[in-house]
Amino acid sequence: MTDEYRYPFSPYPEGWFAILEASELAEGELKSLEYFGRELVAFRGADGAIKVMDAHCAHQGAHLGHGGKLEDGCLRCPFHGWKYDGEGRCVDVPYSKEIPSNARQHSYPVIVWANLVIVFYQAQNLPPSWRPELPDLDGSWSVYGRNAFKVKVHIQDVGENGVDIPHFKYVHDTVMPDLVRAEGIETTFYIETATRKDSPHYQHLRGIKRQLWGMGISSSDFVGQLTGRVIICRTPIDALYSELSIVAVPPKLPSEKATAAFGKALLERVSEEIQSDIPVWEHKKYAENPLLVRGDGPISRWRRWCKQFYTEDVGPASATSRPRAKKKVSLPVANDAC
């Protein structure tokens, strides 16, 4: 593996990204995190809602997660005692009546879904220009568990596997599925595959329906006699590494034991698939102009859809502008190479 950056675009696209399990953050707990090449802190505000903000104090740069104190849903700096509310505003400088108007931490917009803490990242800290339309996990679904992997890969490469049909045979040793749909509509990408009848999995898996909201969050329904759901999250850690997390969401079956068994099988199966991909991801060179043939799948269409989430063209440096205009990218033909 090389320690050089391998991609012609930023490691930090705009989007919504999972950074934590909500159940991991207890009331009164302050947690330090590292994502997007930044240091963050997470805690629960006075109303119990989860707050995420940049970790280094706007005053003189102390790390709020190392010695900081939570007070009535606010966070007090360990260095000079400046206190910030859950929205990042400084509300107290204990030794002065003056609070500078720009004394604030960047506070990240937060969505909690499927026990995941999902934040919006944009390089200039601008507010969200879009929100994911996440499906309601109502009483018919159960969130079973989560696995996470730290992988040396860009999240765009990870998502690209979903439309790379031949890799299913050569990496995952299975019959290539038929690609039924691959369509980007604004910030959502839809992928649908059908299991071929000569596949050994056909009896229990008829196909997979996947939605991606940006490059960070996806939900896949494994359609069969029993339909199970798997959420896959892709979050940049730094310029080289990403966190890939898998959440199994089985349907609620007549017994808790049966539900848990199905959830365990989903989690283990998809985790095995991810682990098969990791050696390829970590050692491959990004082919900016791949030599594609009919049957490779819509690699170029996927890449064109991804471009809207970049606010710079090249390299791991910070972004400087808003994303490009969003547009529909569709694929009506199953085995289109472009």
- Asked, colleague to colleague, whether 6-21+112-338 and 22-111 share their fold, the answer is no
On whether the CB atoms of residues 310 and 13 are closer than 8 A, the answer is yes
Specify the amino acid at residue 80.
Answer: H
Q: What is the C-alpha to C-alpha distance for residues 77 and 70, in angstroms, rounded to an integer?
A: 9
Q: What is the DSSP annotation of 26-72?
A: -TT--EEEEETTEEEEEEE-TTS-EEEEESB-TTT--BTTTT-EEET
Helix (H, G, I), strand (E, B) or coil at 22: helix
CATH class of 6-21+112-338: alpha beta
Minimum mean pLDDT range among 91-95, 239-243, 254-258, 324-328? 324-328
Task: Quote the DSSP letter at residue 215.
Answer: T
Dump pLDDT digits (tens) for 79-137: 999 999 999 999 999 999 999 999 999 999 999 999 999 999 999 999 999 999 999 99
Q: What is the C-alpha to C-alpha distance for residues 270 and 299, in angstroms, rounded to an integer?
A: 22
Report, in angstroms and rounded to the nearest whole number, the Rg of the chain calculated over CA atoms.
Answer: 21
Q: What is the C-alpha to C-alpha distance for residues 169 and 176, in angstroms, rounded to an integer?
A: 6
* Backbone phi, psi, residue 111, to 5°: -120, 135
- Per-chain mean pLDDT for the chain: 91
- Tokens standing for 116? 């995941």
The domain defined by 22-111 folds into: Rieske Iron-sulfur Protein (2.102.10)
Domain boundaries, the chain: 6-21+112-338, 22-111
**Unique residue bearing structure tokens 């999995």:** 201
- Tokens standing for 59? 């005053």
Alpha helices in the chain (DSSP H): 155-160, 167-170, 256-283, 299-306
Dump pLDDT digits (tens) for 293-309: 999 999 999 999 999 99
**Half-sphere exposure (CA, 13 Å, Cβ side) for 254?**
0
Residue 317 confidence class, pLDDT cut points 50, 70, 90: very low
Mean pLDDT, range 321-328, rounded to an integer: 42
